[in-house]
């Protein structure tokens, strides 16, 4: 809802009330397909219109974390209608310590699979534990195994399920997967649509992560609230498939229901031949359908934004939510001169981050470096990081520098290419796959009070540990910062 949708009314005593303008309701009633990719896929999944823009929708896949919900449902005798939709990869609560397969204590934290795992598998559930070659972070392995395909509607528990939208599908996270398992359906309010057109020339050393941080910095952490967001424009189109995942991963960090990129040849080539991709028998038919699933030339979005990447520097956050991103040569803002609406949160951010208003962010010492998470822990990310650190050493003031591959398959591939040797020689720890320090109910977190430069997606208060300060940046900016022991400009390493 935009400002012009409101009529402001005084209700006395200084209270101002803004009620939606009647045109807003008229438009709401007409919220229907207007030719966007989102509309087309949404409409194909409608089972029932529940009124008021709420719909019952068919779910094609549910790629989730812990199987504990399944256990609970079965203990309660709840009938599960669609076990085949559910792919279970316990990632959040698994230690990424290389000793996790042998150390009994770590096995306990790690092993989300109890004695009943085989029973669950026999019942038709797909459970991939840490010993499974397909195991990894759910949002990495869903696409990596070919489970996430264009045109699908995919929902799961974890909020970063929006990552899969980069395949040209609708996906979101929310904690109502029990109902998906019971019915194969989900109820959702039809969101408005927004298109973010990314134009211009991407500067040297910039990655997809820098693009999405720039988008959130410009539009705001709340900007997608109420919207499904399509990322488009020549810069997005030119990105490899893996970069598109990084962009959609942070769609939820602008509070949108989902983020999407239209599928194209880049997508199809990336998907073809993967384990769960459509078989050759159906491939041409599938691709022919997928090619229709893009926004029409005359598609109408509720909101359109353009982000020009020309001249944009590598981005890094200074504060406590993702919109607190500034160019690497930028300075920490001063709350007292910030726009009035931002002031209170900026003050909290300055107090928490311990940074000085007006100080350059470049050169800020870091205690830890984290490379991993569902944002950028795919093979292309690890290759790029390895290029930066090859033949160099992690600075002595860095207490912990970790590389955590996104999946067992990624780890195997990286080791086959010798990337692990490069990281280890530089003084990084080379970990097992999992969510790790991005969110730590798994024993991995940043030590109390420390500053970590992280390629993950959240820098909120306490996100990575007690009183820990997170600076979000791209994988390569993190790698360069590990070498310098302070927030570094990756462009000096290219």
Query: Min. distance of Cβ 199 from other proteins in angstroms?
Result: 27
Q: Binding to other proteins by residue 428, rule CB under 8 A?
A: no
Q: How far is the CB of 385 from other proteins (least distance, A)?
A: 24
| Binder of other proteins out of 32, 48, 359, 494 (CB under 8 A) | 48
Q: Which is nearer to other proteins, 270 or 423 (CB)?
A: 270
Contact yes or no for 142/63 (Cβ under 8 A) = yes
Among 140, 202, 252, 386, binds other proteins (CB under 8 A): 252
Q: Compute the radius of gyration of the chain from its Cα atoms.
A: 23
**Judged by CB under 8 A, does residue 11 bind other proteins?**
yes
Range 344-373, binding other proteins (CB under 8 A): 344-345, 348
- Cβ neighbours of residue 366 closer than 8 Å, sequence gap 6 or more: 398, 451, 452, 453, 471, 481, 482, 485, 486, 487
Quick one: 492 exposed, middle or buried, by C-beta within 10 A (0-12, 13-18, 19+)?
exposed
Mark the segment that binds other proteins (CB under 8 A) among 46-54, 326-334, 401-409, 414-422: 46-54
Interaction of residue 463 with other proteins, rule CB under 8 A: yes
Q: Is 255 in the site for other proteins (CB under 8 A)?
A: yes
In the complex with other proteins, the residue whose CB is nearer, 269 or 344, is 344
275 to 304, contacts with other proteins by CB under 8 A?
275-279, 282, 285-286, 289
Shortest distance (Å) from residue 175 CB to other proteins = 5
Residue 24 vs 101, nearer CB to other proteins: 24
CB of 164 to other proteins, least distance (A): 14
| By CB under 8 A, residue 174 contacts other proteins | yes
Is the separation of the CB atoms in 192 and 303 below 8 Å? yes
d(CA 251, CA 230): 9
Using CB under 8 A as the binding rule, whether residue 342 contacts other proteins is answered as yes
240 binds other proteins (CB under 8 A): no
Q: What burial letters (b/e) apply to 13-23, b meaning 16+ CB within 10 Å?
A: eeeeeeeeeee
- Does the footprint of other proteins cover residue 454 (CB under 8 A)? no
Considering the complex, state which of residue 258 and residue 476 has its C-beta at the smaller distance from other proteins. Answer: 258
Q: Does 19 bind other proteins (CB under 8 A)?
A: yes
Is 460 a residue that touches other proteins (CB under 8 A)? yes
Least distance CB 281 / other proteins (angstroms): 8
Residue pair 262/168 in contact (Cβ under 8 Å)? The answer is yes
54 binds other proteins (CB under 8 A): yes
Q: Report how far apart the first and last C-alpha atoms of the chain are (Å, whole number).
A: 44
Site for other proteins, residues 211 to 230, rule: CB under 8 A: 221-222, 225-226
Of 101 and 460, nearer to other proteins (C-beta) is 460
Of 450 and 486, nearer to other proteins (C-beta) is 450
465 sits near other proteins (criterion: CB under 8 A): yes
Residue 200 makes contact with other proteins by CB under 8 A: no
The pairing of strands 368-371 and 451-454 is parallel
C-alpha angle 214-220-222 in degrees, rounded to nearest 5: 140
Any contact of residue 234 with other proteins (CB under 8 A)? no
Q: Segment 84-123, which members bind other proteins (CB under 8 A)?
A: 84-85
Question: For other proteins, which residue of 6, 34, 237, 427 counts as binding (CB under 8 A)?
Answer: 6
- Residue closer to other proteins (CB basis): 51 or 104: 51
Q: How far apart are CA 420 and CA 400, in angstroms?
A: 16
């Amino acid at each position: 809802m935009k400002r012009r949708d409101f009529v402001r009314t005084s209700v006395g005593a200084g209270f101002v009330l803004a009620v939606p303008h009647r045109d807003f309701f008229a438009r709401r009633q007409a919220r229907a397909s207007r030719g966007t990719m989102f509309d087309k896929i949404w409409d194909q999944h409608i089972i029932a219109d529940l009124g008021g823009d709420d719909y019952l929708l068919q779910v094609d896949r549910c790629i989730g974390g812990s199987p504990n919900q399944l256990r609970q449902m079965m203990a309660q005798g709840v009938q599960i209608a669609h076990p085949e939709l559910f792919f279970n990869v316990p990632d959040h609560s698994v230690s990424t310590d290389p000793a996790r397969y042998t150390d009994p204590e770590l096995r306990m934290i790690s092993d989300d699979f109890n004695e009943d795992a085989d029973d669950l598998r026999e019942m038709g559930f797909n459970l991939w534990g840490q010993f499974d070659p397909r195991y990894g972070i759910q949002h990495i392995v869903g696409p990596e195994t070919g489970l996430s395909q264009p045109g699908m509607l995919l929902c799961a528990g974890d909020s970063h399920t929006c990552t899969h939208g980069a395949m040209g599908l609708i996906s979101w996270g929310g904690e109502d997967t029990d109902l998906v398992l019971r019915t194969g359906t989900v109820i959702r309010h039809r969101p408005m649509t927004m298109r973010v057109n990314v134009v211009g020339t991407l500067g040297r050393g910039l990655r997809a992560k820098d693009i999405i941080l720039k988008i959130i910095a410009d539009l705001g952490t709340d900007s997608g609230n109420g919207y499904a967001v399509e990322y488009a424009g020549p810069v997005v189109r030119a990105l490899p498939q893996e970069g598109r995942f990084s962009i959609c991963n942070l769609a939820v960090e602008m509070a949108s229901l989902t983020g999407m990129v239209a599928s194209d040849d880049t997508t199809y080539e990336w998907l073809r031949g993967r384990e769960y991709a459509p078989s050759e028998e159906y491939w041409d038919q599938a691709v022919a359908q997928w090619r229709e699933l893009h926004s029409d030339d005359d598609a109408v979005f509720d909101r359109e934004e353009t982000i020009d990447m020309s001249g944009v520097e590598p981005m890094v956050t200074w504060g406590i939510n993702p919109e607190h991103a500034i160019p690497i040569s930028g300075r920490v803002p001063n709350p007292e001169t910030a726009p009035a609406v931002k002031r209170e949160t900026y003050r909290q951010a300055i107090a928490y981050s311990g940074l000085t208003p007006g100080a350059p962010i470049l050169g800020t010492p870091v205690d830890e470096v984290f490379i991993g998470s569902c944002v950028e822990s795919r093979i292309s990310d690890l290759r790029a990081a390895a290029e930066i650190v090859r033949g160099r050493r992690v600075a002595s003031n860095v207490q912990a520098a970790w590389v955590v591959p996104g999946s067992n398959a990624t780890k195997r591939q990286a080791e086959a290419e010798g990337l692990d040797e490069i990281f280890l020689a530089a003084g990084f720890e080379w970990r097992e796959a999992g969510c790790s320090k991005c969110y730590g109910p798994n024993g991995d977190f940043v030590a109390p009070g420390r500053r970590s430069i992280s390629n993950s997606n959240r820098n909120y208060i306490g996100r990575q540990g007690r009183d820990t300060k997170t600076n979000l940046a791209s994988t390569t900016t993190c790698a360069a910062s590990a070498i310098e022991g302070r927030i570094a400009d990756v462009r000096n390493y290219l």
